[in-house]
Amino acid sequence: MASEDSEPQRVLSGESVESWDMKRHASSAFKQQRLPAWSPVLSPATVLPVFLVTGAILIPAGVALLFLSETVGEHRIAYTYCPQYFQENRTFGERNCAVVIAETNETCHCAYNFSLKRSYRAPVFIYYQLSNYYQNHRRYVNSRDDYQLRGKLYDRVSSYCAPYDYDDEGRPIAPCGAIADSLFNDSLRLELRWLGHPDNETEEDAEEQEEQVAGRAAPPLDVPLPMDVPVLRTGIAWPSDKQRRYANPPGNLTAALAGFAKPRSWRRHVYELDPDNEDNNGFVNEDLIVWMRTSALPKFRKLYRRVDHSREPFADGLPAGNYTLHVEYNYPVASFSGSKVFIVTSTTAVGAGNQFLGAAYVTCGCVCMLLGAMFVALHLRYRQAAAFMVTVERETPYL
Partner 1 sequence: MCDWRRLPPTLLRICSRGGRWWRQTFRPTPLTDEDVETTSGITEEVEGGLVEHRIIFVNRPQPSKYCSNHISTAKYNMLSFVPSFLFEQFRRYSNIFFLFIALLQQIPDVSPTGRYTTLVPLVFILSVSAIKEIIEDVKRHHADNEINHRDVEVLRDGHWLWIQWRNVVVGDIVKVHNNQFFPADLIILSSSEPQAICYIETSNLDGETNLKIRQALPDTAHLLETKDLTQFTGTLECELPNRHLYEFTGILKETNKQTLPLGPDQLLLRGAMLRNTSWIFGLVVYTGHETKLMKNSTSAPLKRSTVDKLTNTQILMLFFILIVLCLLSAIFNEIWTKEHARTDWYIGIDEMINLNFGYNLLTFIILYNNLIPISLQVSLEVVRFVQAIFINMDIDMYHEESDTPAMARTSNLNEELGQVKYIFSDKTGTLTRNIMDFKKCSIAEQIYTLADNPNDTQLVKNLQSGHPSALYLREFLILMSVCHTVIPERSKDTIIYNAASPDERALVRGACLFGYVFDTRTPHHVEISALGTRERYEILNVLEFTSSRKRMSVITRNSAGEIKLYCKGADTVIYERLSPDGQQFREATLRHLEEFATEGLRTLCCAVANISEEAYEEWKNTYHKASTSMQYRERKLEDAANLIENNLTLLGATAIEDKLQDQVPETIAALIKADIRVWVLTGDKQETAINIGYSCKLIVHGTPLLILNEDSLDSTRETIARHSSEFGDQLGKSNDVALVIDGKTLKYALSCDVRRDFLDLCVSCNVVICCRVSPMQKAEVVELVTSHTKSITLAIGDGANDVAMIQKAHVGVGISGVEGLQAACASDYSIAQYVVVTVCLKAGLVTNAWTWLTHLAIWGSIAMWFIFVAVYSNFWPVIPVGAVMLGMDRMMCTSPVFWLGLILIPFSTLIADVSYKVIHSTAFKSLTEAARESEIRKTDPGNVIMRETRHSPLHAIGQLSRFTWHGTDEDRITSPLCCSHHRNQCRFYTRLTETARLLKNVRSVFSFNRRSATRVNMEVELSHGFAFSQEEGGAVTQSEVIRAYNTNLPKPGGM
Among 39-47, 280-288, 304-312, 319-327, the segment contacting partner 1 (CB under 8 A): 39-47
DSSP state of 138: H
Q: Could you tell me if 113 and 210 are in contact, meaning their C-beta atoms sit under 8 angstroms apart?
A: yes
Residue 375's nearest CA partner among 77, 55, 11, 3 is: 55
Residue closer to partner 1, measured from CB, 185 or 187: 185
Q: Is 373 in the site for partner 1 (CB under 8 A)?
A: no
What span, in angstroms and rounded, lies between the C-alpha atoms of 129 and 339? 8
Residue closer to partner 1, measured from CB, 341 or 376: 376
Residue closer to partner 1, measured from CB, 1 or 213: 1
What span, in angstroms and rounded, lies between the C-alpha atoms of 112 and 212? 7
Q: Binders of partner 1: how many residues, by CB under 8 A? A: 84
Residue closer to partner 1, measured from CB, 122 or 367: 367
Q: How far is the CB of 383 from partner 1 (least distance, A)?
A: 10
Residue closer to partner 1, measured from CB, 63 or 218: 63
What is the radius of gyration, based on Cα positions, of the chain? 35
Q: Is 156 in the site for partner 1 (CB under 8 A)?
A: no
What span, in angstroms and rounded, lies between the C-alpha atoms of 30 and 53? 36
- Within residues 50-89, the interface with partner 1 by CB under 8 A covers 54, 58, 61, 65
- Within residues 2-21, the interface with partner 1 by CB under 8 A covers 2-6, 8-9, 11-12, 16, 19-20
- HSE of 201, CA atoms in CB hemisphere, 13 A: 18
Ramachandran category for residue 229: left, alpha or beta (phi over 0 → left; psi -120 to 50 → alpha): beta
Residue 71's nearest CA partner among 353, 360, 356, 309 is: 353
Q: How far is the CB of 182 from partner 1 (least distance, A)?
A: 3
What span, in angstroms and rounded, lies between the C-alpha atoms of 155 and 172? 6
- Within residues 181-200, the interface with partner 1 by CB under 8 A covers 181-182
Residue closer to partner 1, measured from CB, 136 or 212: 136
Torsion of CA 174, 179, 181, 186, to 10 degrees: -120
- Within residues 311-340, the interface with partner 1 by CB under 8 A covers 332, 335-337
| Total Cβ atoms within 10 A of residue 311 | 12
Given candidates 18, 199, 215, 392, which one binds partner 1 under the rule CB under 8 A? 392
> In the stretch 227-266, what mask flags binding to partner 1 with x, by CB under 8 A?
-----------xxxx--xx---------------------
Given candidates 137, 197, 216, 311, which one binds partner 1 under the rule CB under 8 A? 137
Instruction: State the DSSP H helix or E strand holding residue 220, giving kind and residue range, or none if neither.
Output: none
Q: Is 168 in the site for partner 1 (CB under 8 A)?
A: no
Q: How far is the CB of 143 from partner 1 (least distance, A)?
A: 7
Give backbone dihedrals phi and psi of 39, rounded to 5 degrees, phi first.
-115, 110
